[in-house]
């Protein structure tokens, strides 16, 4: 009898946990759109009205989506874009010696440094932009968080300019606000949708070719007005895009996907659903990944 009781209690706990996870997953829009991303939102760019949402209030690491805020803070400061930025050992150290093809000691204009940070997610470029901000990195991070507060991003926190930290956190809902704000900067739209670019460094002179980190941009997709990818082990695959759907500009934020192309697949699934009302299919391994990550996110809550 005691064994039966214990088994019943164990089953009840599992059932409760399963119900809890499903309740978090089935937020507004989730019943209509199957998505591989753990957290997502799509809003009308002009009005901000929510079109699709899935765990959109869940606080998660955001990886290189961070760089959109980095760009806004740089442009808000109105620093001279033609000024040369020298890449230093301190920049390399701040990104924990993360790989970069840029040679330490070489120089590049602030405009092109910003361009490769956005289009190709160059971390050394983002670190250099923060270091050369008036007041240095600490002042830069302070400005990032102040900007987030100004935009009403209440659950967002930045600790660096690159996104190379799981402590850069936000929600899909907050990031939709950031993306909407970013569309007001012509250079951000231009740089994030650049397919390929050749950066010309000085001291010493050399060139490096860069490609956009978003496959949709690289393949010539013309309906995208702004884009930023992100990846970190703790954050999974992330993507933000603004694209034309049904003659309207739509913001899409997709966070923490298992597969390399899952965020792109989700962006297309949202577009298809908005156009036709038809759903796409999600692979079982993506569903398994979601269950595992949700269990981690909600552990102790």
What integer pLDDT is reported at residue 22 of this predicted model?
40
Q: What is the mean pLDDT of residues 72-101?
A: 97
The answer to whether residue 21 is domain-embedded is no
pLDDT tens-digit map of 137-151 = 999 999 999 999 999
What integer pLDDT is reported at residue 29 of this predicted model?
40
Domain count, the chain: 1
Q: What is the mean pLDDT of residues 146-161?
A: 98
The answer to whether residue 20 is domain-embedded is no
What integer pLDDT is reported at residue 280 of this predicted model?
85
Residue 259 belongs to domain spanning: 34-297
Per-residue pLDDT band at 32 (split at 50, 70, 90): low
Q: What is the mean pLDDT of residues 109-126?
A: 98
What is the residue-averaged pLDDT of the chain? Answer: 90
CA distance 169 to 224: 25
The answer to whether residue 6 is domain-embedded is no
CB-CB contact of 126 with 132 (8 Å): no
Per-residue pLDDT band at 300 (split at 50, 70, 90): low
Share of the chain above pLDDT 90, in %: 84
What integer pLDDT is reported at residue 87 of this predicted model?
98
User: What radius of gyration do the chain's Cα atoms show?
Assistant: 21
Here the CATH number for the domain that contains residue 265 is 3.40.710.10
What integer pLDDT is reported at residue 28 of this predicted model?
42
The answer to whether residue 25 is domain-embedded is no
Q: Per the residue annotation, which of 37, 39, 54, 67 is the catalytic one?
A: 67
Q: Per the residue annotation, which of 37, 42, 56, 64 is the catalytic one?
A: 64
What integer pLDDT is reported at residue 298 of this predicted model?
85
pLDDT tens-digit map of 163-201 = 999 999 999 999 999 999 999 999 999 999 999 999 999
Tokens (6 digits) for 59: 């606080």
CB-CB contact of 237 with 259 (8 Å): yes
The answer to whether residue 26 is domain-embedded is no
**Residue 46 bears catalytic tag:** no
**Residue 64 bears catalytic tag:** yes
The answer to whether residue 24 is domain-embedded is no
Share of the chain above pLDDT 70, in %: 89
Q: Per the residue annotation, which of 42, 109, 120, 121 is the catalytic one?
A: 121
What integer pLDDT is reported at residue 159 of this predicted model?
98
**Residue 227 bears catalytic tag:** no
The answer to whether residue 84 is domain-embedded is yes
The answer to whether residue 9 is domain-embedded is no
The pTM for the full model equals 0.90
């Amino acid at each position: 009898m005691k064994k039966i009781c214990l088994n019943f209690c164990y089953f009840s706990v599992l059932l409760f946990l399963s119900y809890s996870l499903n309740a978090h997953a089935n937020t507004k829009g989730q019943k209509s759109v199957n998505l591989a991303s753990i957290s997502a939102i799509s809003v009308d760019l002009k009005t901000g009205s929510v079109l699709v949402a899935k765990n959109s209030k869940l606080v998660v690491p955001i990886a290189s989506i961070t760089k959109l805020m980095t760009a806004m803070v740089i442009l808000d400061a109105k620093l001279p874009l033609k000024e040369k930025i020298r890449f230093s050992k301190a920049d390399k150290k701040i990104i924990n010696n993360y790989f970069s093809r840029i040679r330490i000691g070489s120089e590049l204009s602030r405009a092109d440094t910003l361009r490769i940070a956005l289009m190709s997610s160059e971390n050394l470029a983002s670190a250099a932009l923060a270091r050369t901000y008036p007041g240095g990195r600490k002042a830069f991070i302070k400005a990032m968080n102040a900007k987030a507060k100004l935009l009403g991003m209440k659950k967002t926190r930045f600790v660096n300019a690159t996104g190379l930290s799981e402590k850069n956190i936000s929600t899909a809902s907050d990031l939709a606000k950031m993306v909407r704000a970013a569309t007001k900067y012509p250079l951000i739209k231009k740089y994030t949708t650049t397919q390929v670019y050749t950066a010309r460094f000085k001291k010493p002179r050399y060139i490096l070719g860069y490609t956009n980190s978003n496959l949709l941009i690289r393949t010539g997709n013309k309906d995208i007005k702004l884009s930023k990818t992100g990846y970190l082990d703790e954050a999974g695959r992330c993507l933000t895009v603004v694209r034309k759907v049904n003659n309207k500009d739509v913001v899409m934020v997709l966070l923490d996907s298992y597969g390399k192309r899952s965020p792109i697949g989700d962006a297309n699934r949202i577009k298809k659903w908005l156009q036709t009302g038809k759903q796409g299919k999600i692979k079982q391994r993506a569903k398994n990944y979601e269950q595992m990550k949700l269990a981690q996110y909600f552990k102790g809550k």
